[in-house]
Amino acid sequence: MITQQPAERRALIGEYVLGLLDEAEAAEVHELIEHDAEAAQMALQWQQHFLELSDQLPPQTPSAQLWQRLQNSLGLTPAVSRVNSWLAWWQSLTTWRLTSAALAFALIIAVLPDLWRTDTAANSYTVVLQAPGEAAKPGWVVHVDGSGSLRLQPLLEDQIPTDRSVQFWTLIDPAIGPRSLGLVEPGKPLQLSAEQIGAVQPGQLFELTLEPAGGSPKDRPTGKVLYIGRAVMASIN
Protein backbone atom coordinates (compact mmCIF):
# COMPACT_ATOMS: atom_id res chain seq x y z
CA MET A 1 0.00 0.00 0.00
CA ILE A 2 1.55 3.29 -1.08
CA THR A 3 1.47 6.11 1.41
CA GLN A 4 -0.77 9.11 0.72
CA GLN A 5 1.48 11.40 2.70
CA PRO A 6 3.15 13.63 0.06
CA ALA A 7 6.67 13.85 1.52
CA GLU A 8 6.81 10.11 2.20
CA ARG A 9 5.46 9.41 -1.24
CA ARG A 10 8.11 11.61 -2.83
CA ALA A 11 10.84 9.81 -0.88
CA LEU A 12 9.43 6.42 -1.91
CA ILE A 13 9.47 7.50 -5.53
CA GLY A 14 13.08 8.61 -5.04
CA GLU A 15 13.90 5.10 -3.84
CA TYR A 16 12.14 3.69 -6.88
CA VAL A 17 14.14 5.92 -9.22
CA LEU A 18 17.37 4.82 -7.59
CA GLY A 19 16.32 1.19 -7.98
CA LEU A 20 16.34 0.37 -4.28
CA LEU A 21 12.93 -1.21 -3.97
CA ASP A 22 12.28 -4.92 -4.11
CA GLU A 23 10.27 -6.33 -6.98
CA ALA A 24 6.84 -6.10 -5.38
CA GLU A 25 7.30 -2.55 -4.11
CA ALA A 26 8.83 -1.45 -7.40
CA ALA A 27 5.89 -2.90 -9.33
CA GLU A 28 3.49 -0.95 -7.13
CA VAL A 29 5.31 2.34 -7.61
CA HIS A 30 5.70 1.66 -11.33
CA GLU A 31 1.94 1.23 -11.55
CA LEU A 32 1.40 4.49 -9.67
CA ILE A 33 3.72 6.41 -12.00
CA GLU A 34 1.94 5.01 -15.04
CA HIS A 35 -1.42 6.33 -13.89
CA ASP A 36 -0.73 9.33 -11.71
CA ALA A 37 0.70 12.40 -13.42
CA GLU A 38 1.87 13.88 -10.14
CA ALA A 39 3.81 10.74 -9.30
CA ALA A 40 5.30 10.72 -12.80
CA GLN A 41 6.40 14.32 -12.28
CA MET A 42 8.02 13.43 -8.97
CA ALA A 43 9.94 10.58 -10.61
CA LEU A 44 11.23 12.87 -13.35
CA GLN A 45 12.15 15.52 -10.79
CA TRP A 46 14.28 13.02 -8.90
CA GLN A 47 15.82 11.85 -12.14
CA GLN A 48 16.55 15.46 -13.06
CA HIS A 49 18.27 16.10 -9.73
CA PHE A 50 20.29 12.91 -10.03
CA LEU A 51 21.53 14.06 -13.45
CA GLU A 52 23.98 16.20 -11.51
CA LEU A 53 25.57 12.98 -10.30
CA SER A 54 25.64 11.44 -13.80
CA ASP A 55 27.26 14.57 -15.13
CA GLN A 56 30.10 14.11 -12.63
CA LEU A 57 31.15 11.05 -14.61
CA PRO A 58 33.44 11.40 -17.61
CA PRO A 59 31.63 10.79 -20.93
CA GLN A 60 32.71 7.62 -22.77
CA THR A 61 32.63 7.76 -26.54
CA PRO A 62 30.64 4.78 -27.84
CA SER A 63 32.19 2.51 -30.45
CA ALA A 64 31.32 3.39 -34.04
CA GLN A 65 29.44 0.09 -34.32
CA LEU A 66 26.91 1.15 -31.72
CA TRP A 67 25.17 3.65 -33.98
CA GLN A 68 25.20 1.20 -36.89
CA ARG A 69 23.74 -1.48 -34.68
CA LEU A 70 21.06 0.90 -33.51
CA GLN A 71 20.16 1.80 -37.09
CA ASN A 72 19.89 -1.88 -37.94
CA SER A 73 17.77 -2.65 -34.90
CA LEU A 74 15.35 0.13 -35.79
CA GLY A 75 15.42 -0.27 -39.56
CA LEU A 76 16.94 3.18 -39.96
CA THR A 77 19.61 2.28 -42.49
CA PRO A 78 20.63 5.51 -44.20
CA ALA A 79 19.44 4.71 -47.74
CA VAL A 80 15.89 3.89 -46.76
CA SER A 81 15.50 5.92 -43.62
CA ARG A 82 14.13 8.92 -45.41
CA VAL A 83 11.45 6.89 -47.15
CA ASN A 84 10.54 5.13 -43.91
CA SER A 85 10.20 8.35 -42.00
CA TRP A 86 8.08 9.92 -44.73
CA LEU A 87 5.86 6.92 -44.76
CA ALA A 88 5.60 6.94 -41.00
CA TRP A 89 4.86 10.63 -40.99
CA TRP A 90 1.91 10.28 -43.27
CA GLN A 91 0.75 6.94 -42.02
CA SER A 92 0.76 8.14 -38.45
CA LEU A 93 -2.25 10.24 -39.38
CA THR A 94 -4.35 7.15 -39.11
CA THR A 95 -7.52 8.60 -40.51
CA TRP A 96 -5.76 9.34 -43.75
CA ARG A 97 -3.76 6.23 -44.19
CA LEU A 98 -3.08 5.44 -47.80
CA THR A 99 -4.37 2.09 -48.84
CA SER A 100 -1.76 -0.05 -50.50
CA ALA A 101 -3.83 0.01 -53.66
CA ALA A 102 -3.85 3.80 -53.71
CA LEU A 103 -0.14 3.79 -53.03
CA ALA A 104 0.51 1.35 -55.85
CA PHE A 105 -1.65 3.48 -58.08
CA ALA A 106 0.25 6.62 -57.13
CA LEU A 107 3.55 4.91 -57.85
CA ILE A 108 2.39 3.64 -61.25
CA ILE A 109 1.24 7.14 -62.09
CA ALA A 110 4.55 8.58 -60.94
CA VAL A 111 6.45 6.62 -63.57
CA LEU A 112 3.97 7.49 -66.31
CA PRO A 113 3.58 11.23 -65.91
CA ASP A 114 3.02 12.13 -69.55
CA LEU A 115 0.46 9.47 -70.18
CA TRP A 116 -1.41 10.47 -67.05
CA ARG A 117 -1.36 14.17 -67.87
CA THR A 118 -2.92 13.58 -71.28
CA ASP A 119 -5.61 11.40 -69.82
CA THR A 120 -6.54 13.55 -66.91
CA ALA A 121 -6.06 17.03 -68.20
CA ALA A 122 -9.77 17.59 -68.04
CA ASN A 123 -10.40 16.15 -64.58
CA SER A 124 -11.20 18.37 -61.66
CA TYR A 125 -10.71 17.54 -58.00
CA THR A 126 -11.91 18.57 -54.59
CA VAL A 127 -10.09 18.11 -51.30
CA VAL A 128 -11.77 18.81 -48.00
CA LEU A 129 -9.08 19.53 -45.41
CA GLN A 130 -10.12 18.51 -41.93
CA ALA A 131 -8.50 18.48 -38.52
CA PRO A 132 -6.82 15.05 -38.03
CA GLY A 133 -9.23 12.63 -36.43
CA GLU A 134 -12.12 15.06 -36.61
CA ALA A 135 -14.06 14.17 -39.72
CA ALA A 136 -16.78 16.71 -39.04
CA LYS A 137 -14.43 19.67 -38.80
CA PRO A 138 -13.48 20.93 -42.25
CA GLY A 139 -11.20 23.96 -42.18
CA TRP A 140 -10.24 24.48 -45.81
CA VAL A 141 -11.28 23.20 -49.17
CA VAL A 142 -9.13 22.74 -52.28
CA HIS A 143 -10.47 22.94 -55.81
CA VAL A 144 -8.43 21.83 -58.78
CA ASP A 145 -10.15 22.82 -62.01
CA GLY A 146 -9.97 21.22 -65.44
CA SER A 147 -6.96 23.35 -66.39
CA GLY A 148 -5.08 22.01 -63.38
CA SER A 149 -4.91 25.23 -61.38
CA LEU A 150 -5.57 24.97 -57.66
CA ARG A 151 -7.50 27.19 -55.31
CA LEU A 152 -7.25 26.78 -51.54
CA GLN A 153 -10.29 28.29 -49.88
CA PRO A 154 -10.71 28.89 -46.12
CA LEU A 155 -13.91 27.79 -44.38
CA LEU A 156 -12.89 29.37 -41.10
CA GLU A 157 -10.18 31.64 -39.78
CA ASP A 158 -7.77 30.06 -37.32
CA GLN A 159 -5.89 32.08 -34.74
CA ILE A 160 -2.20 31.36 -35.25
CA PRO A 161 0.50 32.48 -32.78
CA THR A 162 2.49 35.41 -34.19
CA ASP A 163 5.70 33.37 -34.20
CA ARG A 164 4.18 30.66 -36.37
CA SER A 165 3.28 30.20 -40.02
CA VAL A 166 0.86 27.84 -41.70
CA GLN A 167 2.41 25.83 -44.51
CA PHE A 168 0.65 23.97 -47.31
CA TRP A 169 2.00 20.58 -48.44
CA THR A 170 1.18 17.77 -50.77
CA LEU A 171 2.37 14.18 -50.98
CA ILE A 172 2.47 12.63 -54.41
CA ASP A 173 5.13 9.98 -53.99
CA PRO A 174 5.95 8.75 -50.47
CA ALA A 175 9.44 7.85 -51.68
CA ILE A 176 10.09 11.50 -52.43
CA GLY A 177 8.22 12.90 -49.46
CA PRO A 178 5.95 15.85 -48.95
CA ARG A 179 6.39 18.87 -51.19
CA SER A 180 5.80 22.38 -49.94
CA LEU A 181 3.23 24.42 -51.79
CA GLY A 182 4.05 27.56 -49.84
CA LEU A 183 2.78 29.51 -46.87
CA VAL A 184 -0.86 30.24 -46.20
CA GLU A 185 -2.42 33.21 -44.43
CA PRO A 186 -5.17 32.02 -42.07
CA GLY A 187 -8.52 32.93 -43.55
CA LYS A 188 -7.04 33.96 -46.93
CA PRO A 189 -7.46 31.97 -50.15
CA LEU A 190 -4.43 30.84 -52.14
CA GLN A 191 -4.24 30.34 -55.89
CA LEU A 192 -1.63 28.12 -57.52
CA SER A 193 -1.08 27.44 -61.21
CA ALA A 194 -0.97 23.98 -62.78
CA GLU A 195 2.80 24.42 -63.22
CA GLN A 196 3.23 25.07 -59.51
CA ILE A 197 1.34 22.00 -58.35
CA GLY A 198 1.84 19.50 -61.18
CA ALA A 199 -0.71 16.89 -62.12
CA VAL A 200 -3.08 16.01 -59.30
CA GLN A 201 -3.98 12.37 -58.80
CA PRO A 202 -6.96 10.77 -57.12
CA GLY A 203 -6.17 10.13 -53.46
CA GLN A 204 -3.30 12.63 -53.42
CA LEU A 205 -2.78 13.99 -49.94
CA PHE A 206 -2.77 17.66 -49.01
CA GLU A 207 -2.15 19.09 -45.59
CA LEU A 208 -1.62 22.29 -43.64
CA THR A 209 0.90 22.27 -40.80
CA LEU A 210 1.89 24.75 -38.13
CA GLU A 211 5.52 25.72 -38.65
CA PRO A 212 7.99 28.27 -37.31
CA ALA A 213 7.48 31.79 -38.70
CA GLY A 214 8.57 31.85 -42.33
CA GLY A 215 7.96 28.16 -42.86
CA SER A 216 9.56 24.83 -41.98
CA PRO A 217 13.35 25.06 -41.71
CA LYS A 218 13.49 21.64 -43.34
CA ASP A 219 12.19 20.34 -46.64
CA ARG A 220 9.33 18.62 -44.90
CA PRO A 221 6.76 19.38 -42.21
CA THR A 222 8.15 19.76 -38.70
CA GLY A 223 5.08 20.91 -36.80
CA LYS A 224 1.58 19.88 -35.87
CA VAL A 225 -0.84 18.89 -38.64
CA LEU A 226 -3.73 21.36 -38.64
CA TYR A 227 -5.74 19.99 -41.55
CA ILE A 228 -5.41 17.09 -43.90
CA GLY A 229 -7.35 15.54 -46.75
CA ARG A 230 -7.06 13.75 -50.05
CA ALA A 231 -8.16 14.53 -53.54
CA VAL A 232 -11.39 13.09 -54.88
CA MET A 233 -12.43 13.48 -58.46
CA ALA A 234 -15.09 16.14 -58.64
CA SER A 235 -16.12 15.55 -62.26
CA ILE A 236 -14.91 13.98 -65.45
CA ASN A 237 -15.40 16.29 -68.37
Partner 1 sequence: MAQPLFDYESHLEACARQDDRAFQALYQQEAAQMLGLAITLLGRRDQAEDCVHDAFVQIWRNAQRFQRALGSGRAWIYSILRYRALNQLRSRGRTVELDDDFIERAADDSPQAAELLEQQGEHRELRRCLQNIERNRRHPILLAFYRGLTHEQIANRLTTPLGTIKGRIRAGLRALQECLHA
Q: Which of residues 204-233 bind partner 1 (CB under 8 A)?
A: 222
Q: Does 132 bind partner 1 (CB under 8 A)?
A: no
Please name the residues in contact with 117: beta carbons below 8 A apart, sequence gap of 6 or more: 199
Residue 77 — φ and ψ, nearest 5°?
A: -60, 140
Q: Does 37 bind partner 1 (CB under 8 A)?
A: yes
Piece in contact with partner 1 (CB under 8 A), picked from 20-28, 100-108, 128-136, 163-171: 20-28
Piece in contact with partner 1 (CB under 8 A), picked from 39-47, 147-155, 156-164, 173-181: 39-47
Q: Does 49 bind partner 1 (CB under 8 A)?
A: yes
Q: What is the 3-state secondary structure (H, E, C) of the chain?
A: CCCCCHHHHHHHHHHHHHCCCCHHHHHHHHHHHHHCHHHHHHHHHHHHHHHHHHCCCCCCCCCHHHHHHHHHHHCCCHHHHHHHHHHHHHHCCHHHCCCHHHHHHHHHHHHCHHHHHHHHCCEEEEEEEECCCCCCCEEEEEEECCCCCEEEEECCCCCCCCCEEEEEEEECCCCCCCEEEEEECCCCCEEECHHHHCCCCCCCEEEEEEEECCCCCCCCCCCCEEEEEECEEEEEC
**What is the Cα 67 distance to its own chain's centre?**
24
Site string for partner 1, 171-210 (x = CB under 8 A): ----------------------------------------
Q: Does 54 bind partner 1 (CB under 8 A)?
A: yes
- Residue with Cβ nearer partner 1 (199 or 205): 205
Q: Does 159 bind partner 1 (CB under 8 A)?
A: no
Q: Does 161 bind partner 1 (CB under 8 A)?
A: no
- Minimal distance, residue 101 CB to partner 1, in Å: 23
Among 73, 99, 159, 237, binds partner 1 (CB under 8 A): 73
> How many Å apart are CA 115 and CA 112, to the nearest integer?
6
- Minimal distance, residue 163 CB to partner 1, in Å: 14
- Residue with Cβ nearer partner 1 (34 or 114): 34
Q: Residue count at the site for partner 1 (CB under 8 A)?
A: 50
Using CB under 8 A, list all residues that contact partner 1: 7-8, 10-11, 14-15, 17-22, 37, 40-41, 43-45, 47-63, 66-67, 69-70, 73-74, 76, 81-82, 84-85, 88-89, 92, 222
